[in-house]
């Protein structure tokens, strides 16, 4: 027969013997309604005062409750004795603490403490039954009656979970028996109306959600799953965690509540499918071993592949796992309140052995299960089973069966025993000199309530404020990393710590062993982070952690990851091509050094030289008929003004200054007005000359040079008046244009009052339109006076160019606008020069034979 099966057989036989006394018997000579119990199956150490310890070893049995179960004992009880063996540390902690107190001469002198250890198999009904048995004393277990006059128990330590504590408190509270609950702090048990005699030794996990968020932020886990216990504590943790995550921009991918039993409409396959099907790679699990019992059993059959687990030390994930399944938890991170050593406990374990304490039935059963042997040799059916080696110690127990370091629950039990000892010590100093002077044990329990509330469980100092019990708030968490190795070897290594209130997290990432599915730090996000240059665009109906990445619009950047908004660059900076940073803008203007400025300046100089050359030709040939016929004085004025027009364009090139801004537009306007006025005078002279050929015509007096010069002066004077108004009201000024060109700051001249500016241009256009109209009407004059045709073409070019300029002016900015205005000046001036003077220069220079009076007369009289 397999030794493992043999061990299971004896352990189950042991449990069956316990439950065979669970029935109401009608026997002759006995009370007709009581529970017959075998008290030899509890382990008791006598003392002046006995502490009742209601502890949990092995997994909870599945009892079927109906009206027949109270008449007949159950046929068999299936208890998984291999599970929750680590809780035997709780039994040893009670024994160690009591022995330590009994050796202390300064604490409870002349009084010995004892203990009565009871195992409730983590079953609420057994916890109630044990409570009733403890209240009734030895003998018949009769509700509300006790034949044990010598009962020395005054306080109970019990309740590894809140459900067990509530079950016990329902009965113990009737007798005002103080109950120290060593499980995790639960809000339900803090109700002083329902549970006035329950004192919770566990720490309040009021900051655990802050510690969890700090860990998420450190590793960038923005999309995590949550599995919590289906109770008030789990709901409170969920509410606080969700609020803190939302405050820090984190999201829950899913939230699953684990009840003591999977709901009928939600079988285990669907439950795990929702977890495994989630896109979240990190799962936070909150709850204690009892509340996560069903979830633990599921993980024993289905591993969470591809998921990183973050848990608390309150969940003993190994309680329902076999040694083969423990490797599935490799890499798990654990938040732990306490992971230390109780002084002297390790040495105490070396002395614990079934041979040294044969009365400890729990130690005997535990020893046989973990080592798969028998403490005492038994021969059955001619078969001899292996006897346990006497050299075996707790150092030889596998970690899945026993923690080498003190767990948080064991620490609570240790503090609870000392709390009771200090409370008794204070009561003796206050109300009696020795134990004999104290009232009966039943009254002693009532008096002990006040002292339990007002004594610190660690140092025994009396608290004058007398708070609401010994529960304390944890301010620091250790971060542990579970590691599993071949050969059933595993350990928990401290890799960091967190102080939630101060938002301080220190962790050594290099010392962390991640799960095998993650070769490096796991990533758990809903959407890939938006890099610099992009912003998050949230999706309607989805959590804020799920988003799309959108490129920043023109002129804006984002210089950090996951930016929600793009920011505008300062005016003196511009976005880079990647839109991830702002670069300083370069100061620019239409300079002579650049190609466009060089071409325009060269064109202006060339045309001004050409105009000067034409002027020289006219001066040199001033006595020729063609020059005299075209009013040489007006031609001189026109050529000089055109030269100045070409040169005025140079004011628009180069770095502008306030003085240049004022001069260039006014200079351009005045010299162009002189040129157009000269053309107007020429046109009027041509028309009047034709009309004045009739004998006795009065128009001859208007053909004198003084009249033409007066016309030019008056037209120029009006333009100067407009310019004076412009400069006096809102003159041009120097400005830095930061918007026209994205990567440059353009130094340019602002025209000031656009109304006045367009009035100046409009006045020149008005003169040009009159000249064009008169020249067009005089185009059919005899060939001797054919200059009207050239004047028409010149004004047509001028008007076309500047009308195009006015249309494009509003849509052009920066250097392009300056270049366009220079181009218009050059083209319009060149058009006048070419249209009017090119034919004349052609005749003067290339066809001098046609520049005679006879030829002109012959053309005039064909």
The tens digit of pLDDT for each residue in 163-172 reads: 889 999 988 8
Give the residue, 156 or 450, on which the prediction is more confident. 156
Give the residue, 65 or 734, on which the prediction is more confident. 734
Q: Give SS3 for 264.
A: coil
Joined tokens for residue 536: 């998050």
Nearest to 284 by CA among 354, 345, 223: 223
- Who contacts 324 (Cβ-Cβ below 8 Å, separation ≥6)? none
The predicted-structure confidence for 185-213, as pLDDT tens digits, reads as follows: 888 888 888 898 898 888 777 789 999 99
Largest CA distance in the chain: 171
Cβ–Cβ contacts within 10 Å for residue 386, how many? 12
Asked if residues 644 and 604 have their Cβ atoms less than 8 Å apart, the reply is no
pLDDT at res. 379: 56
pLDDT at res. 179: 92
Distances (CA, A) of 62 to 78, 231, 582, 842: 7, 21, 70, 123
pLDDT at res. 781: 59
Distances (CA, A) of 143 to 117, 133, 134, 137, 446: 21, 9, 11, 11, 20
Q: Using the predicted structure, report yes or no on whether residue 472 has a pLDDT greater than 60.
A: no
Mean pLDDT calculated for residue range 146-172: 79
Q: Which one-letter DSSP state was computed for residue 140?
A: S
Pairing of strands 547-551, 534-538: antiparallel
The predicted-structure confidence for 72-86, as pLDDT tens digits, reads as follows: 444 434 455 666 788
pLDDT at res. 303: 80
- Who contacts 854 (Cβ-Cβ below 8 Å, separation ≥6)? none
pLDDT at res. 18: 38
- Kindly list the strands in the beta sheet with 733-737, ordered across the sheet, starting from the edge strand earlier in the chain: 586-588, 744-750, 733-737
pLDDT at res. 689: 63
Q: Name residue, tokens 């120097």.
A: 734
Measured at the CA of 126, the angle between CA 16 and CA 399, to 5 degrees, comes to: 75
Nearest to 173 by CA among 189, 185, 149: 189
The predicted-structure confidence for 557-606, as pLDDT tens digits, reads as follows: 998 888 889 999 888 888 988 899 999 988 888 888 888 989 999 999 99
Buried b (16+ CB within 10 A) or exposed e, 221-234: bbbbbbbbbbbebb
The pLDDT-based confidence of 697 (bands split at 50, 70, 90) is low
Mean pLDDT, the chain, rounded, equals: 80
End-to-end CA distance of the chain: 147
Q: What is the DSSP string of 554-570?
A: TTEE--STT-SS-EEPP
Joined tokens for residue 597: 């400025």
Cβ–Cβ contacts within 10 Å for residue 9, how many? 12
Q: Using the predicted structure, report yes or no on whether residue 456 has a pLDDT greater than 70.
A: no
Give the residue, 18 or 795, on which the prediction is more confident. 795
pLDDT at res. 17: 36
Share of the chain above pLDDT 90, in %: 22
C-alpha 555/C-alpha 854 separation (Å) is: 73
pLDDT at res. 703: 62
pLDDT at res. 217: 94
Joined tokens for residue 94: 């009670």
Phi-psi region of 110 (alpha: psi -120 to 50; beta: other; left: phi over 0): left
Joined tokens for residue 767: 């003169």
- Who contacts 612 (Cβ-Cβ below 8 Å, separation ≥6)? 639, 643
Burial of 79 (0-12, 13-18, 19+ CB in 10 A): buried
The predicted-structure confidence for 484-506, as pLDDT tens digits, reads as follows: 887 777 788 899 999 988 889 99
Query: Alpha helices of 562-704 — where are they, by DSSP H?
Result: 595-620, 625-629, 632-648, 658-691
pLDDT at res. 77: 43
Please state at what angle helix 632-648 crosses helix 705-729, rounded to 10 degrees.
Answer: 20
Q: Give SS3 for 108.
A: coil
Mean pLDDT calculated for residue range 679-702: 66
User: Which of 116-120, 360-364, 780-784 bottoms out in mean pLDDT, i.e. has the lowest?
Assistant: 780-784
pLDDT at res. 745: 85
Nearest to 389 by CA among 368, 366, 358: 368
Asked if residues 178 and 445 have their Cβ atoms less than 8 Å apart, the reply is yes
Asked if residues 6 and 385 have their Cβ atoms less than 8 Å apart, the reply is yes
- Kindly list the strands in the beta sheet with 223-229, ordered across the sheet, starting from the edge strand earlier in the chain: 251-258, 223-229, 282-286, 308-312, 333-336, 477-485, 489-499, 504-507
C-alpha 608/C-alpha 598 separation (Å) is: 15
Q: Using the predicted structure, report yes or no on whether residue 471 has a pLDDT greater than 50.
A: no
Q: Name residue, tokens 């043999």.
A: 6
Q: Which one-letter DSSP state was computed for residue 455?
A: B
Q: Give SS3 for 280.
A: coil
Nearest to 759 by CA among 665, 645, 678, 656: 665
Nearest to 556 by CA among 547, 544, 546, 569: 569
C-alpha 143/C-alpha 31 separation (Å) is: 12
Share of the chain above pLDDT 70, in %: 79
- Who contacts 527 (Cβ-Cβ below 8 Å, separation ≥6)? 545, 546, 547, 548, 549
The pLDDT-based confidence of 803 (bands split at 50, 70, 90) is confident
Buried b (16+ CB within 10 A) or exposed e, 132-143: bbbbbbeebbbe
C-alpha 253/C-alpha 202 separation (Å) is: 30
Overall residue count recorded for the chain in this entry = 862
The pLDDT-based confidence of 776 (bands split at 50, 70, 90) is confident
User: Which of 240-244, 601-605, 662-666, 778-782 bottoms out in mean pLDDT, i.e. has the lowest?
Assistant: 778-782
Q: Name residue, tokens 């101060």.
A: 502
DSSP H or E stretch at residue 481: strand 477-485
Joined tokens for residue 462: 């009396």
pLDDT at res. 753: 86
Give the residue, 244 or 23, on which the prediction is more confident. 244
Asked if residues 798 and 675 have their Cβ atoms less than 8 Å apart, the reply is no
Cβ–Cβ contacts within 10 Å for residue 420, how many? 28
Q: What is the DSSP string of 514-561?
A: --TT-SSS----SSPPP-TTEEEEEPTTS-TT-EEEEEPPTTEE--ST
Mean pLDDT calculated for residue range 800-805: 85
The predicted-structure confidence for 634-660, as pLDDT tens digits, reads as follows: 889 889 999 999 999 899 888 888 899
Phi-psi region of 487 (alpha: psi -120 to 50; beta: other; left: phi over 0): left
């Amino acid at each position: 027969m397999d030794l493992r099966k043999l061990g299971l057989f004896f352990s189950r036989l042991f449990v069956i013997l316990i439950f065979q006394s669970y029935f109401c018997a009608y026997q002759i000579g006995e009370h007709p309604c009581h529970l017959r119990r075998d008290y030899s199956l509890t382990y008791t150490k006598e003392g002046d005062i006995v502490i009742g310890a209601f502890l949990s070893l092995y997994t909870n049995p599945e009892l079927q409750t109906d009206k027949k179960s109270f008449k007949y004992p159950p046929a068999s009880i299936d208890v998984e004795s291999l599970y929750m063996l680590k809780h035997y540390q709780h039994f040893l902690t009670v024994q160690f603490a009591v022995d330590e107190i009994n050796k202390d001469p300064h604490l409870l002198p002349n009084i010995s403490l004892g203990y009565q250890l009871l195992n409730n198999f983590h079953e609420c009904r057994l916890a109630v039954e044990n409570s009733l048995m403890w209240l009734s004393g030895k003998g018949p277990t009769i509700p509300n009656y006790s034949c044990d006059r010598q009962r020395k128990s005054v306080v109970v330590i019990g309740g590894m979970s809140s459900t067990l504590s509530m079950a016990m408190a329902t009965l113990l509270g009737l007798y005002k028996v103080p109950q120290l609950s060593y499980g995790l702090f639960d809000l339900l048990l803090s109700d002083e109306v329902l549970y006035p005699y329950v004192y919770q030794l566990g720490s309040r996990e009021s900051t655990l959600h802050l510690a969890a968020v700090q860990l998420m932020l450190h590793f960038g886990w923005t999309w995590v799953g949550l599995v919590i216990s289906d109770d008030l504590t789990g709901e409170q943790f969920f509410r606080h965690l969700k609020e803190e995550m939302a405050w820090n921009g984190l999201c829950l991918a899913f939230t699953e509540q684990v009840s003591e039993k999977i709901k009928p409409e939600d079988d285990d396959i669907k439950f795990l499918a929702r977890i495994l099907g989630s896109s979240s790679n990190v799962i936070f699990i909150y709850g204690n071993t009892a509340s996560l019992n069903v979830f633990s059993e599921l993980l024993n059959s289905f591993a969470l592949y591809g998921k990183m687990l973050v848990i608390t030390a309150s969940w003993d994930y190994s309680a329902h796992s076999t040694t083969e399944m423990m490797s599935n938890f490799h890499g798990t991170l654990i938040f732990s309140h306490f992971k230390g050593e109780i002084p002297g406990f390790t040495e105490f374990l070396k002395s614990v052995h079934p041979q040294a304490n044969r009365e400890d039935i729990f130690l005997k059963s535990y020893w046989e299960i973990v080592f798969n042997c028998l403490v005492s040799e038994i021969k059955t059916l001619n078969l001899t089973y292996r006897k346990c080696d006497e050299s075996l110690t707790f150092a030889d127990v596998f970690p899945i069966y026993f923690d080498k370091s003190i767990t948080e629950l064991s620490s609570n039990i240790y503090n609870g025993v000392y709390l009771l000892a200090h409370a008794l010590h204070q009561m003796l100093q206050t109300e009696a000199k020795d134990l004999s002077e104290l009232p009966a044990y039943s009254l002693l329990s009532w008096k002990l309530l006040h002292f339990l509330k007002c004594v610190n469980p660690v140092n025994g100092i009396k608290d004058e404020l007398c708070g609401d019990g010994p529960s304390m708030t944890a301010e620091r968490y250790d971060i542990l990393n579970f590691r599993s190795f071949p050969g059933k070897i595993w350990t928990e290594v401290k890799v960091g710590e967190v102080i939630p209130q101060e938002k301080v997290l220190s962790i050594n990432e290099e010392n962390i062993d991640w799960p095998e599915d993650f070769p490096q730090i796991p990533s758990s996000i809903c959407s890939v982070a938006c890099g610099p240059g992009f912003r998050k665009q949230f999706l309607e109906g989805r959590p804020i952690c799920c988003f799309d990445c959108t490129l920043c619009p023109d002129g804006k950047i984002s210089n950090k990851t996951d930016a929600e908004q793009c920011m505008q660059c300062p005016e003196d900076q511009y976005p880079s091509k990647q839109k991830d940073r702002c670069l300083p803008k370069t100061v620019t203007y239409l300079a002579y050094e650049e190609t466009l400025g060089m071409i325009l300046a060269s064109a202006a100089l060339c045309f001004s030289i050409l105009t000067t050359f034409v002027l020289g030709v006219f001066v040199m040939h001033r006595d020729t008929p063609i020059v005299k016929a075209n009013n040489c004085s007006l031609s001189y004025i026109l050529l000089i003004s055109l030269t100045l027009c070409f040169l005025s364009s140079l004011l628009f090139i180069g770095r502008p200054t306030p003085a240049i801004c004022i001069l260039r537009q006014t200079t351009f306007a005045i010299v162009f007005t002189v040129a157009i006025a000269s053309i107007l005078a020429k046109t009027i002279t041509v028309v009047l000359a034709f009309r004045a050929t009739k004998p006795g015509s009065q128009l001859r007096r208007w053909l004198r040079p003084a009249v033409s010069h007066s016309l030019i002066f008056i037209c120029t004077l009006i333009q100067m008046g407009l310019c004076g108004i412009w400069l006096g009201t809102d003159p041009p000024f120097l400005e830095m244009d930061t918007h026209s060109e994205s990567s440059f700051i353009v130094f340019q001249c602002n025209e000031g009052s656009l109304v006045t500016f367009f009035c100046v241009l409009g006045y020149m256009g008005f003169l040009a339109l009159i000249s064009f109209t008169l020249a067009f009407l005089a185009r059919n004059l005899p060939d001797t006076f054919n200059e009207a045709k050239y004047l028409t073409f010149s004004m047509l070019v001028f008007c076309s160019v500047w009308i195009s300029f006015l249309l494009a002016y509003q849509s052009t900015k920066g250097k392009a606008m300056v270049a366009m205005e220079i181009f218009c000046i050059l083209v319009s001036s060149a058009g006048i020069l070419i249209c009017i003077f090119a034919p004349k220069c052609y005749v003067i220079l290339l066809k001098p034979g046609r520049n005679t009076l006879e030829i002109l007369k012959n053309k005039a009289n064909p």
